[in-house]
Amino acid sequence: MKYSLWNLIPYDYTYLINFPNNLKKLSLLNSTNRNEIKEVLKKNKTKNLLDINYWNYNLIIDSYSKESNNDFEVSFINLFFLTKNNKTKNLDLKKYFVSNYKYFNKKNKKIILDNY
């Protein structure tokens, strides 16, 4: 199915991942599969900008290649801000940040620490 069509339809990312492509069943260990899923997710970024589950899914995919991918930090920061009222999830993200502090760049460290 053409991805350009999905720019016009009001469906969120879950419809793209599940049907008709069944991208959800692809292995995330394969970088080609991850890239294909990321391409689909980017098509719906504006529609899911405030969706916690969207950013969480993005973070999971980005975590497989965080050394070569700066999108991981963007996904992390977006999820961090969106979970501000969800204390459990926010606490998990804070723990992750503290344990992986050295892997974040200076700019993103400052953003997260200012809102910690």
Residue reference for tokens 């890239």: 35
At CA 24, angle to CA 21 and CA 29, rounded to 5? 115
- Give the per-residue pLDDT at 73: 87
- Give the per-residue pLDDT at 98: 92
Q: Comparing C-alpha atoms, which of 63, 87, 58, 92 is closest to residue 75? A: 58
- Give the per-residue pLDDT at 44: 75
Q: Comparing C-alpha atoms, which of 86, 75, 73 is closest to residue 41? A: 75
What is the residue-level pLDDT of the chain in tens, covering all 116 positions?
A: 455 665 566 666 666 676 666 777 788 888 888 888 888 788 778 778 788 888 888 888 888 876 666 788 888 999 999 998 888 988 999 999 999 888 888 998 999 999 88
**Domain range holding 106?**
3-114
- Give the per-residue pLDDT at 27: 81
Number of domains in the chain: 1
- Give the per-residue pLDDT at 91: 92
Sign of the four-CA dihedral 110, 84, 39, 96: positive
- Give the per-residue pLDDT at 16: 65
32: number of Cβ within 10 Å? 9
